[in-house]
Chain A
């Protein structure tokens, strides 16, 4: 199985900050990586697929980059609605696996 490791596990930031979350895979994924946002008590929401493709309707302040084993999700200017937990997910092979999550908190 491909192991996915996110860092940091928790991130404290302020509105307007630029933040970056990193996701590392135990083997190469090419660009077969997605990012999701989950708010408390809600279902996850797709943000990014193919490492850098923005899902329709997702604000352009979200961006993804990387390939191989290292990927990043960047939020260019944090908005109040962005405080949530973020997950990466690999789809290079079954079983599909997620990172453990990064909780983005208000500083």
Chain B
């Protein structure tokens, strides 16, 4: 079955960087677009970014554009999110999620990982 396991979260000071990873298994990773979605403590869901199955296309939420970079390594079945210039408002649980579309974006979210908490605080 599909399994997504995020890692890399932690406490980081404002202005610093952090890299999240999502290890995928149970499906052919290279055939599916992938998303990052976040949730601030006690708040709702916010889509962060998408990367196409081949890494050729990426889209970002305005709130992270220019600071965050989504990437993937299809040889290692791993999705990443490089987060630079972190702000207090980036504090959230970050989820990776699989797009259901085969080699295309359907843009809803199939299985999700369990999430990893990022806390930006001095």
Taking Cβ atoms with an 8 Å cutoff, the residues of A that contact B are 1, 32, 34, 36, 38, 42-46, 49, 87, 89, 91, 94-101
Residue of A nearest to B65 (CB): A95
A43 and B94 alpha carbons, distance in the complex (Å): 10
Chain B min CB distance to A70 (Å): 19
Contact stretch, chosen from B8-16, B23-31, B84-92, B105-113: B105-113
A49 and B100 alpha carbons, distance in the complex (Å): 10
A43 and B97 alpha carbons, distance in the complex (Å): 10
Residue of B nearest to A49 (CB): B108
Q: Which among B50, B60, B107, B109 is the interface contact of A36 at CB below 8 angstroms?
A: B109
By a CB distance below 8 angstroms, the chain A residues around B107 are 32, 91, 96
Q: Which among A44, A94, A95 is the interface contact of B45 at CB below 8 angstroms?
A: A44
Q: Which among A36, A43, A96, A97 is the interface contact of B114 at CB below 8 angstroms?
A: A43
Number of cross-chain contacts by CB at 8 Å: 53
Chain A min CB distance to B87 (Å): 18
Extra pairs beyond A49-B108, A87-B44, A98-B46 (13, CB < 8 Å):
A34-B108, A34-B109, A43-B112, A43-B114, A46-B108, A49-B106, A87-B45, A89-B47, A91-B107, A91-B108, A95-B60, A97-B47, A101-B44
A-B contacts, 26 listed (Cβ < 8 Å): A1-B62, A32-B107, A34-B108, A42-B114, A43-B95, A43-B114, A43-B115, A44-B109, A44-B112, A46-B108, A46-B109, A46-B110, A49-B108, A87-B44, A87-B45, A89-B47, A89-B108, A89-B109, A91-B106, A95-B62, A96-B35, A96-B50, A98-B44, A98-B46, A98-B47, A100-B44
A91 and B50 alpha carbons, distance in the complex (Å): 12
Q: When each residue 35-63 of chain B gets 1 if its CB lies under 8 Å from chain A and 0 otherwise, what string results?
A: 10000000011110010000000011110
A1 and B61 alpha carbons, distance in the complex (Å): 10
Chain A min CB distance to B100 (Å): 8
By a CB distance below 8 angstroms, the chain A residues around B46 are 98
